[in-house]
Amino acid sequence: MTLMSAEANFSELIQKPKDTVARMQETHRKGITLHRRDDEDLYLTTAARAAAAAEVVDSTTRMFMALMKSDPKAVSMLTRVFPEAFPWVRFLPDAAVREFLIEFMETARAASDLGTVDPLAPLIASWKSTAEIHSDPALRSKLLEPVEDDLGPVEAPAAEAE
């Protein structure tokens, strides 16, 4: 029987590397989550498996971008089905759902070109926060109130300050 996923402590990989890698190979996903005591868990898989996953993401992103560029109806259709992937977009205005779709696909394409998906997580989180604001009329109203006071200087984001 093939397992869906495997888990091990990082120390098991160090102490019994062959056994741990063999457990990884027995799983459906050909990967193993390595738990670390004092840090973030790691996910170990084969280089070929990681490359294949990256190729699928890149190809899918290119296909959707080409579809969106070739037919304006595609953007409308994808905007309508976007709530299947992100149910919380139902709280966004229609124009914002379209804006999120385009920004998501453009960011996915650029990130894929760099070989990473890291830029997508903060993009999704920021749009999800926007949907949360739209879902709460009292919060939205409060955030739309004009600010009369000077709230002081704003520090540059850490990435820009370096």
Residue 3: pLDDT band with limits 50, 70, 90: low
Phi and psi angles of residue 69, each rounded to the nearest 5 degrees, phi first: -75, -30
pLDDT of residue 160: 53
pLDDT of residue 149: 84
Q: pLDDT for 15-32, tens place per residue?
A: 998 988 888 888 777 888
Q: pLDDT for 78-90, tens place per residue?
A: 999 999 999 999 9
Residue 150: pLDDT band with limits 50, 70, 90: confident
Please choose, from the candidates 16, 8, 15, 17, the residue with its C-alpha nearest in 3D space to the C-alpha of residue 35.
8
Higher per-residue confidence, 107 vs 6 = 107
Sign of CA dihedral 59, 60, 63, 64: negative
d(CA 151, CA 109) in angstroms, rounded, equals 38
d(CA 156, CA 106) in angstroms, rounded, equals 25
Q: Is the pLDDT of residue 60 over 80?
A: yes
Q: What is the DSSP string of the chain?
A: --BS-EEEEHHHHHH-HHHHHHHHHTBTTSEEEEE-SSS--EEEE-HHHHHHHHHHHHHHHHHHHHHHHH-HHHHHHHHHHHHHH-GGGGGS-HHHHHHHHHHHHHHHHHHHHHT--TTHHHHHHHHHHHHHHHH-HHHHHHHHSPP-S-----PPPHHHH-
The tokens for 97 are 């759902």
Q: Is the pLDDT of residue 162 over 70?
A: no
Share of the chain above pLDDT 70, in %: 96
Q: Which residues contact 13 (CB under 8 A, 6 or more apart)?
A: 20, 21, 34, 44
Q: Is the pLDDT of residue 115 over 50?
A: yes
The tokens for 73 are 């109806």
The alpha carbon torsion through 107, 113, 115, 117 (nearest 10 deg) reads: 10
